[in-house]
Chain A
Amino acid sequence: MTVPTVEREERPAPATDDDRPAVLDVRGLWKVFGQRAERVVGTPLATLDRAELKRATGCVAAVRDVSFSVRRGEVFVVMGLSGSGKSTLVRCLNRLIEPTAGQVLLDGEDVLGYAGKRLRELRRHRFGMVFQHFGLLPHRRVLDNVAFGLEIRGVKKADRLARAQEVLELVGLAGFEGSYPDQLSGGMQQRVGLARALAVDPEVLFFDEPFSALDPLIRREMQNEVIRLHHEVGKTMIFITHDLSEALKLGDRILIMRDGALVQMGTPDEVVGAPADDYVRDFVSDVPRSDVLTLRWIMRDATPDDPLDGPELGPDTVIRDAVRTVLSARRPVKVVRDGRLLGVVTTAEVLEVIAGAGGQS
């Protein structure tokens, strides 16, 4: 852990920490759009792929049998091309879209059974959501927009405005309380959207491609903002994106979807290092692997000829951060965890990754 500079190091929850409890447990979730959609699930029709199903029944299977669980405090990213069902998936979780089949367990309780008041309470207190197109109320000031969630909950005016002010400061918008949404830039509007979601202090935050509509520079700034907020408030986040670099940058774990189905789920380095199929491989082919993969992925077993007096590094060190150490060591670098030697890394392995970066076969 010698060069702790990059954002990835700052993430509070290393991916290896597997024993935290699941907040949200999604099991066998289906969403089929179309008439008499319920006849699809659990029948031979369910085995057809999306195009075949559409031809056979006219229904669109937007989400097909997806299961995953999200741990408390985790940033869980769902990634896929446009149309792969990400938005539908996340909307099934807070029931903006009614799933066709499956279970969504929040702390072990299935929220699909909720209706009316209970469902509203769930949305008011436990879930928050940030949207791609902000969804702000143009006739309200920024402060009133942020306080909106508290307002509909029935919080008194003075209290909710005080809380809204607090959250506005948290997202760096102090001084813009009295502005109207259309007087703000896209990035600032999305900060308002973020503040609105945070104001009700939810347990789980959903983000549906929140930064896709923003300029690249602003997008980067906002990504860092999310990382900072996650650091400060430590919320569980489910983050939708179609942008791999965003997914790698933010996600503790990444779920990749194609045509509604789960293709692969894992930590960023698992996704890049061991793509499950050609779809994922294509996706990650442009990623500089040395920026994502850790030493774990390239170390080899130590042979008796290896001199073992070189420097030590942890297995979760990103290759890019290890390059200087490895190249200047002139001998194999030991990969050590808890005092145990896991393997060694030499110049040869590092150079292979760097040379192959971007253009792997």
Chain B
Amino acid sequence: MELKTVGKSITKFDAFEKVTGEAVYIADVEFPNVLHIKVVRSSVAHGRIKTVFTEDAYKTEGVRGIITGEKIDFLAGICIYDQPPLAKDRVRYIGEPVAAVVADTIAAAEKAARLVRVDYEELPHVEDPVDAAGEKAPLIHEELGSYFHLPGFNPEPGTNIFHHYHLEKGDTEKGFKNSDVIIERTYTFPHIAHAQIEPHGAIAKWSKGKELHIYSSTQGPFIVRGALSRMFNIPNNLVRVTVPYLGGGFGGKSDLTIEPLTAYAAKFFPGRWLRLILTREEMFFGSLIGRGTHSHIKMGFTRNGKLVAADVKVHLAGGAYGDYSINIVTGTGHNATGPYEIENVNIDSFGVYTNTPLVGACRGYGHPEAHWMTERTMDIAARELKTDPVKLRLKNILKPGSENNLGQIIRKSNGDLEGAIRRAVKEIQLDKREEPDNPRFAAGKSIAALMKSPVMSTNAGSSVIIRANRDGTFHLLASHVDMGQGSVTALSQIAAETLGVPVEKIHHNRGVDTEFTPYEWQTVASSTTWKAGSAVKKAAISVLERFKAIASEVFKTTPDKLTASNERIWYGRNSISFADLAEGYVFPDGHAIAGPVIGTGSIVPQGLTYPDRKTGRGELAAEWTFGCQAAEIELDKKTGRIRVKKFVTVLDAGKIINPVMARGQVEGAVVQGIGAALNETLIYSDKGRVRNSNLTDYKIPTPEDTPDEIVTVFLETPQPGGPFGARPLAEHGIVSVAPAIANALRDATGMDFYDLPLNQDRILKALYGKGEEK
């Protein structure tokens, strides 16, 4: 069947309002009678709150209240309930909310917040995850054993380990015994910031003491609804979450961020809207941050290059509360050894409390952390084995019939990893060497393969509604959050294709409102087109079925005798238009049947289970997307600056629903990945304070930093069960950027790097100071 809409680069449905300034984001939402919140934050990394002095602050004109955590008797969370919305007795990181000053204007709130004084009894603090997991570390949560957590997580009370994910396959002892070459290395990936250009915000109001309406820049409106409903012990249907246009998420606006605090403060001012918009500075510690892993890997190979054993230990510095990074721990474990088939594997992934801001989902989480170690190690191994790194990879990759670490058998329909690797090698022209004329520069090229699964809850459901209108147009209602990835457009394409109508006839809601749009787990894990898209297809089919049922009454036949095409239902040569069926059918004499047509579609990923308690294995990943990346770089040996000249990404993402948007996702992810590879890191002071909490000192890529050439290639092995054969795609472009660049740097300089970022300081030190080489 020829596709008319799917596979075409339809321009974004919501681009018009974005280029004209009409689009309303959280900070643009205005209300009458609003009060403003300024958060007073902890100035110590770990301590007991002795006294909060608010007298002076209260005297500030316009101050209406100062809320502290004293009376809070619940903990917020999703996977593990470990955090009060305002610190209670204890602070665990610099930046933790201690009080919320509420005032008529933001200026008054800010002024008063500066006058709130907090006395602490300081406690020893720890930022490094390996230290924090050690026996001598100060305990950050003595109460860990009493926290509620979902099944599938494994806290170790009495330590700072809030989740230990263990995965084993085969017998690693035997595997290493049979290995001729063993490579063992340690890698780090520092804490980074999402640095969305839009700061987070939330605006909340309580009515009648038991109904809560909150506007939030969240990727997970239903997650927020569920958590607030639990926290305040009010029914789901009395918590309303509205999401306006969202200015970039990258995971940093998923799960819960500032909503519990805003809703808690608002409770003291019933009937009034309380508004909290973070400053740029607060975005670096008052919300979620990303990555922060220390990883040790040991890989064993036979002489002829067969990878036979791997042992991995990852410590994730999860921050002072673990709820939001707990899935990263598991995700890193799933992906720890990259896209390779290994008979004997032992993986321990630890989520560790640290006295730092909270780590949460961050574009591709679990995967860049894992591939940073694995794809570097594969290159090192190739050298030791005196073989070609491409050949070594091809020899060991997961292919149809392979069993991955989780025990899942890879099918041909999972995609063509070998094809992706070969294509990346070709695009980067790995065999062609061009040495720079000027000896000041060194050039290098290399590749890094990748795989990614959407890490999600076993019941991460999606539902959509399609409403038929009297003029043959349709409303598509869904609750995924389009934060720029284009899901509003992509899902409309899927609806149009299935219904057989031009895409212009579909209108998709902008923004989400849990009061009106149907349930969606949350918009994360590159899963919307694939998962919510499947629900759209079902809903569209149910609309067509409804049309046929009505038409069958008109034609006095059975629905199976009818077909749908050209926006009409056909019975032989007779037909009725969709428009004439949309509100039920009206016969010539005026009598009507059936009533308005709506279609619904619901899905949940099939067959996902909790991990086996002993082996950590099971049906834990719904899908896999494979690919390969390649970098061509030039190093200025004088300045230590790396310039990425060309960057190639080849992904087998199944059917591409919208090529321009798909490419946009990959290009954006690549450049964000280049930022993390070359520059980005949160820098902590000795006291545990983030020192570079602004966009001048925390450098994200600028227009000048984008590579001269970004090549994105899609292989399209269809995914059975995915809508029109689509597979998850979005974050994949970030997964192997850092190892591809570091491998190219090794090619250029002969030096191996194990820590990120590869900034000028690090490189100059390696070139001229004490070397990085281990």
Whether chains A and B associate is no
